[in-house]
């Protein structure tokens, strides 16, 4: 997605539309977090009366839905890849890439759909679902099985991404000495594995962990597909 720099730089004199408003909302969330997003703050960023923004979004919830849609537009698609397992792996890494670019959006990206009925979600937020269903059905999964796979796939992805963001954001200053000190306070009888794994716990590589998890998931799905199709 093309970035525009400071949201309100030229918007105060130009004509507003929904995309300009939502893009400015995304830039505000990227810079200052979800808590910073309000019609008042967004109006200040755009150099406009906040009331004028209601012509383009009914409120904060609709703005957030638009932000999620805009972020998902950044996902690269791979329509020419005929290997369903390779395509799912690429989708996983692509979602991780986009989420790491917009970490402040991830909480609403993960929880937003839970609070919005499928039929009321913006069309742009449903494109990943349509893409993965098409990929899986073309590979031989039944439509119902493809839906189950989609739910498991994205459940794993979102869990991994939230965990990786915690590693990056919540524990940026943790070093081996601090971790060892904390683990040594745990009773060895109750926490034998954690006590012995301090170096491994520090060596966290989000991309590698994602790839290993996807491999486990894809191996299981491949076996399931082979059984169901008699291959």
CATH number at residue 36: 1.10.10.60
Domain, as residue range, for 223: 77-229
- Clarify whether residues 118 and 180 are in a common domain: yes
Give the whole-angstrom CA distance, residue 142 versus residue 60. Answer: 38
Residues 62 and 82 in one domain: no
Judged against a pLDDT cut of 80, whether residue 204 lies above it is answered with no
Specify the range with the lowest mean pLDDT, choosing from 9-13, 17-21, 171-175: 9-13
Give the tens place of pLDDT for each residue, 139-188: 999 999 999 999 999 999 999 999 888 876 555 555 666 667 777 888 88
In the DSSP assignment, the letter for residue 197 is -
What pTM value is reported for the model?
0.80
What pLDDT score does 23 carry?
Answer: 96
223 — phi, psi (to 5°)? -65, -40
CATH number at residue 150: 1.10.357.10
More confident residue, 120 or 144: 144
Average pLDDT, the chain: 84
- pLDDT of 231 > 60? The answer is yes
Count of all residues that appear for the chain in the document: 231
| 128, 202: one domain | yes
Instruction: Give which of 142, 14, 157, 37 is closest to 95, Cα–Cα.
Output: 157
Could you tell me the CA-to-CA distances from 31 to 16, 45, 47, 57, 103 in Å, in that order? 21, 12, 17, 21, 10
Top-ranked range on mean pLDDT: pick from 33-47, 114-128, 175-189, 196-210:
33-47
As a whole number of angstroms, the distance between CA 49 and CA 6 comes to: 17
| pLDDT for the residue 13 | 54
pLDDT average, residue stretch 118-136:
84
- Mean pLDDT score, 98-111: 92
101 in any annotated domain: yes
Residues 151 and 184 grouped into a single domain: yes
The verdict on 136 and 224 lying in the same domain is yes
Asked if 199 and 113 sit in the same domain, the reply is yes
């Amino acid at each position: 997605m093309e970035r525009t720099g400071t949201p309100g730089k030229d918007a105060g004199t130009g004509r507003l539309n929904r995309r300009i408003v939502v893009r400015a909302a995304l830039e505000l969330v990227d810079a200052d977090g979800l808590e910073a997003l309000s019609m008042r703050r967004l109006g200040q960023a755009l150099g406009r009366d906040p009331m004028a923004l209601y012509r383009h979004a009914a409120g904060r919830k609709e703005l957030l839905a638009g932000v999620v849609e805009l972020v998902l537009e950044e996902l690269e698609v791979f329509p020419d890849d005929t290997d369903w397992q390779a395509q799912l792996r690429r989708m996983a890494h692509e979602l991780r890439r986009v989420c790491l670019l917009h970490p402040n959006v991830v909480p609403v990206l993960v929880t937003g759909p839970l609070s919005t009925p499928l039929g009321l979600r913006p069309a742009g937020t449903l494109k990943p679902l349509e893409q993965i269903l098409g990929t899986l059905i073309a590979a031989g999964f039944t439509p119902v099985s493809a839906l189950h796979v989609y739910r498991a796939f994205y459940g794993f992805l979102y869990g991994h991404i939230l965990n990786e963001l915690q590693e990056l954001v919540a524990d940026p200053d943790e070093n081996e000495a601090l971790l060892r000190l904390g683990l040594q306070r745990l009773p060895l009888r109750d926490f034998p594995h954690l006590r012995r794994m301090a170096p491994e716990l520090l060596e966290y590589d989000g991309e590698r962990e994602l790839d290993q998890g996807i491999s486990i998931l894809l191996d299981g799905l491949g076996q399931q597909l082979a059984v169901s199709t008699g291959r």
